[in-house]
Structures are given as structure tokens and as C-alpha cells.
Amino acid sequence: MTETIGVTVDLAEERDLPAILTLSNWAAANTPANFALEPEPLADWEQSFAATRARYPWLVARADGNVAGFAKASPHRARGAYLWTAEVSVYVDHHVHGRGVGRALYHRLIPLLRAQGYVTLLAGITTPNPASERLHEAFGFRRCGSYDRAGWKFGRWHDVGYWQCHLHPEGAAPSPPRPVAEVWPDVDRESGT
């Protein structure tokens, strides 16, 4: 078994975007886990970060001062009834796969989303990807469906499995999710980092 490395997890800042994009673009170039077919430009990520970071957390994991991974939430769909549903994704530097970085990120991201008031989290995973599937299942996600032949990459079709996690029990109408900045200090203190 590979040794877990020590990481710190913080809210991402704009200055982290080049390192975040490097991890995403590496995955796109080398794996079917990311369906991008060519490197994505930094300007697109800057625009997405600016548009979503107030309501959807972007986190970075640092090891020895370098970005070792990131996790983020994003809107699932635009229509109003989806307000309490967020999609999550996590990318880890391939040099430190299997060493606890993804777990460290989700240990912070999921409680933050729960505290904000999100009810359902969704994750799309290009299958098979046993490591990602195990990570999500360890945090309470259950497979709820799939899109077969959803993407053509590396000369073949790839399926995408969907996992969901319910953060709050079914019940009364929820309040609108709270902004990240309103919740982060409390979640940060509770986690002890």
C-alpha cells in the first residue's frame, strides 16, 4: 500500500487556476476521465471560477507548497428546481494518485456543501474507474445510472456512470443554499485545519 501524504486543503484562489488547469488538461490528454479533446484555455477556467465560486466551492490540496489536487462543485442544471443539486469533481496529480489527496479534498468539500444547504450531489465517472468509484462510494455516493457510449475518445466509446449522494433527509422545503464565504469559516474551524 502506498503511504498517505500530508496535504492542506484551502479555498482555491485565482492564482491557483493555472495549476488546477494543468491537472485537468493532463487528465484530458492522458485519460478518458476528462472528455476534453484538446487543452482547455485558462481564460475559460477564469470565467467559470469568477461565475461560480461564490455559490460553489473550489478547493485545492497542497503538498510541499504545490497543488496536488483540486475538487469543485458546479451547478447541475440551470432551471430553478435544481438549485439544491450540485455536481462535484475531483482531480489529483497523477504522481500522487492513491495517496489520500482525493479523500482530503472530499473531507472538506462535502461538509462544506452540506453546511451550505445543498441536498443532492452528483458525480459523473467515466467507467471503468475503480479508484474514483471507491472514493465516491466511501463518501456515501451510490451509483444511480449511466449514459452508455456517452463520449468518443482514444478511438473508442466510453460510458459515464452517475453517482449521487443525499446530504439531507427528505422533508420540508429547503432554504436557498448559502454562499461559500458565509459557511467556510465555520466548516474550516470544525475540521481543525
The CATH number assigned to the domain holding 68 equals 3.40.630.30
Note the pLDDT of residue 165. Answer: 97
**Within a domain: 32:** yes
Per the CB < 8 A criterion, the answer to whether 127 and 148 are in contact is: no
**Within a domain: 65:** yes
Asked if pLDDT for residue 187 goes beyond 90, the answer is no
Average pLDDT over every residue of 110-135 = 96
**Within a domain: 1:** no
Average pLDDT over every residue of 162-185 = 90
Among 31-35, 61-65, 107-111, 189-193, which is the least confidently predicted range?
A: 189-193
Asked if pLDDT for residue 5 goes beyond 80, the answer is no
Confidence of residue 174 (pLDDT cuts 50, 70, 90): confident
For residue 132, the enclosing domain spans 8-191
Note the pLDDT of residue 1. Answer: 43
Note the pLDDT of residue 193. Answer: 43
**Within a domain: 154:** yes
Note the pLDDT of residue 192. Answer: 47
Among 22-26, 47-51, 71-75, 96-100, which is the least confidently predicted range?
A: 96-100
**Mean pLDDT of the residues in the chain:** 93
Note the pLDDT of residue 90. Answer: 97
> What total of structural domains would you count in the chain?
1
**Within a domain: 3:** no
Peptide bond before residue 128 is cis, with ω within 30 degrees of 0 = yes
Asked if pLDDT for residue 119 goes beyond 90, the answer is yes
Average pLDDT over every residue of 107-115 = 96
Note the pLDDT of residue 185. Answer: 79
Confidence of residue 189 (pLDDT cuts 50, 70, 90): low
**Within a domain: 2:** no
Per the CB < 8 A criterion, the answer to whether 92 and 101 are in contact is: yes
